[in-house]
Structure 1
Amino acid sequence: MVVLPIGRPRLHTIIGGKVTRAAASSQPAGPASSPPAAGAFSQPAGPASSPPAAQASPPPAAGTSSPPAAGTSSQPAAGTSSPPTGPASSQAAERASPPPAGTSSQRATGALRELILRGDLAAGARLGEVELADRLGVSRTPVREALARLAAEGLVELVPNRGARVSRWTVDELRAVFDLRVQLEPALTELAASRATPEDVTALRQLARAMLAAGSPGPHQDLDAIVTLNRQFHARLVSIADQPAMASALAGAVHPPIVLRNFHTYDDESLHRSLAHHLEIVAAISAGDPVWAGAVMTAHIRNARAVMLAAAPA
């Protein structure tokens, strides 16, 4: 059977070599009744005994539009704007969609946090939105949101009518922070020592050795690399301990004042002592000795406390 697009209201069919006029009711309802696109042509539908194309077509899948009538092109008519449907088109639309609105804000927050933690922005430095937007390559709105987030973390101070600036920590404030650390971190380290897997020990050892190499005196010393590796080392210990409440309490204490230019404040002797502590903590964990690991972490924190308090403004 061949369907010829001879007229808009009715279809003509060829049966046994004769042209007959099909009834109007045989047309499919809905979009299939639209005229074929310009240039569309009919194709043989097989032997004459085959059932009409309208009856042979399977029902459309749920959520999709009805298929076009047999013999018409599957492409939409020229000039039409009907959007594609179905899972494939949904995936394509998802891939083509712009990134979430929060992406620029998150990127600005991470970049500004690193600038502060590395010491590129000194304590007390003014943080102008326009200057930061130019430096970070974003608009002022993500910068404003980043400043609000970092203020919640304690890295930035928002001063009414004066804008934002990098936080400064007094001796009393740092002393309180280290007092909290010395209560939490040794306990978390002891828990980590009792739960660490061989893979954890290997990862911690690699981080400790990398810090030792980056901190060796000489032209290749890289204090910025130590700051990043140190954060990864301590974060790994906290993750192994698996104590969310203690980890949350510790995050508020460690992140703002300690990593903030921490290793840039050390002299050679205190830096060597701190790096050696990391290796000894790994040795204690490898030996399965939580008490030893916790004791070394206590010494590690007190070493950092002495250095930071000596360098802090009164």
Structure 2
Amino acid sequence: MSPVPDGHSPAAEAEAGVDPTVTDIIREAIVRGEYAPNQRLIEADLSAAFSASRATVRTALLELAGEGLVERLPNRGSRVRAVPVEEAIEILEVRIGVEGLCAAKTAASISDDDIAAFHRLRSRMIEAVSEGDLVEYSRLNQYLDVRIRELSRHATASEVLSRLHAQSVRHQFKLSSRPQRAKVSVLEHIAIIDAVVARDPEAAERAVRSHLLSVIDALRDLSSPGHGTAAFH
């Protein structure tokens, strides 16, 4: 398997045999909610936690600020940026077109070996949901996104998505951690995989669009006044 592009999760990089960087590790922690919105990110603490130099941590925080995950505060260091649900929905609306393009291009050029790998991934996703292992299911979702993006061989789309994905995936992670949502989500991801391995670009693009519209609907529903929005930052 070829290396995973820069800017993706440690889970996906581990799958490809690539050691995650400090930037990757902090990004993943933010996505999973281990660092709360508006939480201060103290360079000395991060340096000790990850056995990295202050310079390395500072560079990581600057990279994450460029992705919109971290805010740099004048004379006060950094903190986790709170991404409102409304902004996450706007990002998802942009992702519909770009991820659909990547899925279509992957479907048009996927190799027999990658088809076999996607079949295995499909089985693992179904198994994770049936066993209630939602952390593993979320990890596999991220890996599927990485592989479709990589196999599309569309450098511009990949760069756009690398900047947009992390900002909205926090909200998707919250959704996928809900058992009922995971049961819906896995069927949507199976539809994407099935279209890609069938080498049907139009069906792959439709499946991506259907999935992301479903995510948008779920976010709108769960951010309504009856549910509250704080949990989705």
Q: Shorter-chain TM-score: which interval?
A: 0.7 to 0.9
- 2:181 is aligned to 270
Equivalent position amino acid for 2:32 in 1: R
- 2:9 is aligned to none
The correspondence for 1:207, drawn from 118, 121, 141, is: 121
Task: State the distance in 1 between where 2:53 and 2:116 align.
Answer: 43
Q: Deviations over 1:267-313 (max 9, x none)?
A: 32221111112222222223232222211111111122233343445
Larger Cα Rg: Structure 1 or Structure 2? 1
Gaps of 5+ in 2: 1-19, 224-228
| Partner secondary structure for residue 276 of structure 1 | helix
Equivalent position amino acid for 1:269 in 2: Q
Is 1:307 aligned to 2:221, yes or no? no
The equivalences for 1:248-267 within 5 A come to 248-258=159-169, 260=170, 262-266=172-176, 267=178
Q: State the Cα distance separating 1:118 from its structure 2 match.
A: 2.3
Q: Identify the structure with bigger relative contact order (alpha carbons < 8 Å, sequence gap 6+).
A: 2
The equivalences for 1:105-184 within 5 A come to 107-184=21-98
Instruction: Give the alignment's TM-score, normalised by structure 2.
Output: 0.78
Task: State the distance in 1 between where 2:99 and 2:22 align.
Answer: 30
Task: State the distance in 2 between where 1:157 and 1:216 align.
Answer: 38
Equivalent position amino acid for 2:53 in 1: S
8 Å CA contact 1:129–1:140 kept in 2: the answer is yes
Is 1:239 aligned to 2:150, yes or no? yes
Q: For this pair of structures, how many residues does the alignment match?
A: 205
Is 1:227 aligned to 2:141, yes or no? no
8 Å CA contact 2:108–2:199 kept in 1: the answer is yes
- 1:295 is aligned to 206
8 Å CA contact 1:155–1:257 kept in 2: the answer is no
8 Å CA contact 1:157–1:166 kept in 2: the answer is yes
Question: RMSD value over aligned CA atoms?
Answer: 2.2
8 Å CA contact 2:22–2:56 kept in 1: the answer is yes
CA 1:141–1:179 in 2, change beyond 3 Å: closer, same or farther? same
| Partner secondary structure for residue 158 of structure 1 | strand
Q: Which runs of 4+ in 1 moved over 6 A?
A: none
Q: State the Cα distance separating 1:264 from its structure 2 match.
A: 3.1
8 Å CA contact 2:40–2:78 kept in 1: the answer is yes
8 Å CA contact 1:119–1:261 kept in 2: the answer is no
| Partner secondary structure for residue 165 of structure 1 | strand
Equivalent position amino acid for 1:181 in 2: R
